[in-house]
Amino acid sequence: MFKNKIYLYMAVILAAAAGWAGLSTSAASAKAADCPAENFFDVSGENWNGFTVQVQAACSDEFLVVETNDIPNFEFVQKTPAALQEQTYTFKIPLNPAIAAETSDIPLVGPSGITVTGLLIYGPTESPQDGSRDPYLDGLLDYCGGHTHQGGVYHLHARPDCIFQEKDGIPYLVIGYAFDGFPILAPYICEDAACTEVKEVQSSWVDANPEIDLSWERHEYAAGSGDLDRCNGMLFEDGSYAYFATDSFPYFMGCYMGEVEQSNILPGAGTRGPGQGGQPFGLPGGGSRTPDGFGGPGSGQIPFGPPPGRLPDQTQRPPGNNRPPRPNG
């Protein structure tokens, strides 16, 4: 499974970084494959923004259980009237996610996933009372892609590059997990089995109606315009799946591809509304799952996963990796 490839890939990184003496690569990868909690950053106990960061991740038989106080492990810059406050959350991430018969909406407001540093991931909209607009395009986010809302809850609407600067350009880097259990990856993949070439994947959503304020109506999914499917993910050759945190809309997920653990959905989250719901898995506009839904540009399938035992140069960014500027602040 692809998730095991991710754990193997990250285990090699961890083994090299830590310089584990006498521990073989296979033993290191087996250790990391036991539980995806290994992908979480060790930030608990760090003091930031007047708080002590608390993030704990551990596995039960069915779930990766994440407890967090939702405090950023970087300097908080207040962009809204709500001052940062400590929270108490427990999320359960399915350990064995499966592609559902139909996709489903991510919440219109509220979290849809969690980062490996314990921060909440939201969709690409502000609240309905604020017009359900795109906060990234409106310049409402801090330098790390987030801000607070009422109650001082910090959350991300865009990829938190400030957390992953030292790992920028590494293929298949796990940034977080969606509430259906599928991983959310940095937008870099290997273009060949040996990973001699690295590519930055692109969303297949386009800014089709810039005159419209509503975020989901402003943007439209255009199959073939990018590399990813409607949910902003890819199906890999082994049948496994992952989302990607892209530079452009929807930034994280466009919909859920798997069955969501309902205990993670906070009260009042809502969905995107009439006409903006999920699509049956397959062709745009509906229909059953068919081979025509895969294999071409924008289909969400690529031929290569992380190469076991082989890493690209982790100290260099891939050539041509020039992103659009993030909002100031």
Of the pLDDT bands very low, low, confident and very high (cuts 50, 70, 90), residue 131 is confident
- Which pLDDT tens digit goes with each residue over 170-215? 999 999 999 999 999 999 999 988 999 999 999 999 999 999 999 9
In this prediction, residue 75 carries a pLDDT of: 96
Of the pLDDT bands very low, low, confident and very high (cuts 50, 70, 90), residue 62 is very high
- Asked whether residue 11 is assigned to any structural domain, the reply reads no
In this prediction, residue 4 carries a pLDDT of: 42
Share of the chain above pLDDT 90, in %: 63
Of the pLDDT bands very low, low, confident and very high (cuts 50, 70, 90), residue 77 is very high
- Which pLDDT tens digit goes with each residue over 210-259? 999 999 999 999 999 999 999 999 999 888 899 999 999 999 999 999 99
- Asked whether residue 315 is assigned to any structural domain, the reply reads no
- Asked whether residue 7 is assigned to any structural domain, the reply reads no
Its domain, for residue 143, covers 41-302
CA atoms within 13 A on the CB side of 57: 23
CA dihedral 262, 150, 220, 204 (to 10 degrees): -70
Of the pLDDT bands very low, low, confident and very high (cuts 50, 70, 90), residue 308 is very low
In this prediction, residue 201 carries a pLDDT of: 97
Task: Please give the backbone phi and psi of residue 161, each rounded to the nearest 5 degrees, phi first.
Answer: -60, -30
Who wins on pLDDT, 169 or 320? 169
Of the pLDDT bands very low, low, confident and very high (cuts 50, 70, 90), residue 34 is low
Per the structure, the count of domains in the chain is: 1
- Asked whether residue 184 is assigned to any structural domain, the reply reads yes
Helix residue ranges per DSSP H, 24-114: 25-33
Q: Residue 300 pLDDT more than 80?
A: no
In this prediction, residue 217 carries a pLDDT of: 95
Which DSSP helix (H) or strand (E) runs through 121? strand 120-122
In this prediction, residue 278 carries a pLDDT of: 37
- Which pLDDT tens digit goes with each residue over 248-277? 999 999 999 999 999 998 776 655 543 343
- Asked whether residue 308 is assigned to any structural domain, the reply reads no
Calpha distance 95→148 (Å, rounded): 29
Given a contact cutoff of 8 angstroms between Cβ atoms, the answer to whether 211 and 221 are in contact is: no
- Asked whether residue 245 is assigned to any structural domain, the reply reads yes
SS3 content of the chain, % helix, strand, coil (to 5): 15, 25, 60
Q: Residue 311 pLDDT more than 90?
A: no
Among 141, 151, 246, 255, CA closest to 202: 246
In this prediction, residue 260 carries a pLDDT of: 95
In this prediction, residue 174 carries a pLDDT of: 96
Q: Which of 36-45, 90-99, 176-185, 285-294 has the lowest mean pLDDT?
A: 285-294
- Asked whether residue 328 is assigned to any structural domain, the reply reads no
Q: Residue 296 pLDDT more than 60?
A: no
Helix residue ranges per DSSP H, the chain: 2-18, 25-33, 215-218
- Which pLDDT tens digit goes with each residue over 138-173? 999 999 999 999 999 999 999 999 998 777 789 999
- Asked whether residue 307 is assigned to any structural domain, the reply reads no
The mean pLDDT of the chain is 78
Length of the chain: 329
Who wins on pLDDT, 12 or 125? 125
